[in-house]
Amino acid sequence: MLGEAANNVTREFADKHPELNWKGLSGVRHKIVHDYADIDYDTIWDILQNDIPDAFAKLKTIVDALPPEPTQPPPNMADFL
Protein backbone atom coordinates (compact mmCIF):
# COMPACT_ATOMS: atom_id res chain seq x y z
CA MET A 1 0.00 0.00 0.00
CA LEU A 2 2.83 2.37 0.80
CA GLY A 3 4.41 1.84 -2.62
CA GLU A 4 1.11 2.37 -4.42
CA ALA A 5 0.45 5.56 -2.45
CA ALA A 6 3.98 6.82 -3.20
CA ASN A 7 3.35 6.16 -6.87
CA ASN A 8 0.32 8.47 -6.76
CA VAL A 9 2.02 11.42 -5.05
CA THR A 10 2.23 14.43 -7.33
CA ARG A 11 5.66 15.56 -8.53
CA GLU A 12 5.05 18.91 -6.82
CA PHE A 13 4.36 17.24 -3.46
CA ALA A 14 7.34 14.90 -3.81
CA ASP A 15 9.60 17.84 -4.66
CA LYS A 16 8.44 19.63 -1.50
CA HIS A 17 9.30 16.54 0.56
CA PRO A 18 12.62 15.19 -0.69
CA GLU A 19 13.29 13.59 2.69
CA LEU A 20 11.38 10.57 1.38
CA ASN A 21 12.58 8.43 -1.49
CA TRP A 22 9.27 8.42 -3.38
CA LYS A 23 10.75 6.69 -6.41
CA GLY A 24 12.32 4.02 -4.23
CA LEU A 25 9.07 3.34 -2.38
CA SER A 26 7.11 2.88 -5.59
CA GLY A 27 9.99 0.92 -7.14
CA VAL A 28 10.00 -1.68 -4.38
CA ARG A 29 6.27 -2.14 -4.84
CA HIS A 30 6.73 -2.52 -8.59
CA LYS A 31 9.47 -5.12 -8.09
CA ILE A 32 7.39 -7.18 -5.66
CA VAL A 33 4.25 -7.08 -7.80
CA HIS A 34 5.71 -7.44 -11.29
CA ASP A 35 9.12 -9.07 -10.91
CA TYR A 36 8.48 -11.33 -7.94
CA ALA A 37 10.45 -14.25 -9.42
CA ASP A 38 13.71 -12.33 -8.96
CA ILE A 39 13.11 -10.95 -5.47
CA ASP A 40 16.09 -10.99 -3.12
CA TYR A 41 14.37 -11.81 0.16
CA ASP A 42 17.32 -10.61 2.24
CA THR A 43 16.98 -7.19 0.60
CA ILE A 44 13.23 -7.15 1.25
CA TRP A 45 13.82 -8.09 4.88
CA ASP A 46 16.39 -5.30 5.21
CA ILE A 47 13.93 -2.81 3.71
CA LEU A 48 11.21 -3.94 6.12
CA GLN A 49 13.51 -3.73 9.13
CA ASN A 50 15.32 -0.48 8.32
CA ASP A 51 13.75 1.61 5.58
CA ILE A 52 10.02 1.23 6.23
CA PRO A 53 10.10 2.35 9.91
CA ASP A 54 12.14 5.40 8.87
CA ALA A 55 9.73 6.13 6.00
CA PHE A 56 6.73 5.90 8.34
CA ALA A 57 8.35 8.31 10.80
CA LYS A 58 9.02 10.79 7.99
CA LEU A 59 5.49 10.37 6.63
CA LYS A 60 4.03 11.05 10.07
CA THR A 61 5.98 14.30 10.25
CA ILE A 62 4.72 15.30 6.80
CA VAL A 63 1.10 14.39 7.55
CA ASP A 64 1.16 16.12 10.94
CA ALA A 65 2.28 19.34 9.23
CA LEU A 66 -0.57 19.29 6.68
CA PRO A 67 -3.43 21.70 7.24
CA PRO A 68 -6.61 20.09 8.55
CA GLU A 69 -9.18 19.10 5.99
CA PRO A 70 -12.37 21.15 6.08
CA THR A 71 -15.29 19.44 7.75
CA GLN A 72 -17.78 21.04 5.37
CA PRO A 73 -17.61 22.90 2.07
CA PRO A 74 -17.20 26.66 2.14
CA PRO A 75 -20.55 28.52 2.15
CA ASN A 76 -20.25 29.56 -1.50
CA MET A 77 -19.85 25.92 -2.58
CA ALA A 78 -23.57 25.40 -1.93
CA ASP A 79 -24.23 27.39 -5.12
CA PHE A 80 -22.45 24.68 -7.13
CA LEU A 81 -24.11 21.66 -5.53
Q: What is the pLDDT of residues 4-39, one digit of tens each?
A: 999 999 999 999 999 999 999 999 988 888 987 889
Please report whether residue 74 resides in a domain.
Answer: no
What is the extent of the structural domain holding 40? 2-65
**pTM to 2 decimal places:** 0.70
Question: What positions carry a catalytic annotation?
Answer: 29, 34
**Residue 6: how many CB atoms within 10 A of its CB?**
21
72 found inside a domain:
no
pLDDT at 81 over 60: no
Rounded CA separation 32/39 (Å): 7
Of 40, 65, 63, 43, the C-alpha closest to 52 is: 43
73 assigned to some structural domain:
no
Tell me the Ramachandran region of residue 77: left when phi exceeds 0, alpha when psi lies from -120 to 50, beta otherwise.
Answer: alpha
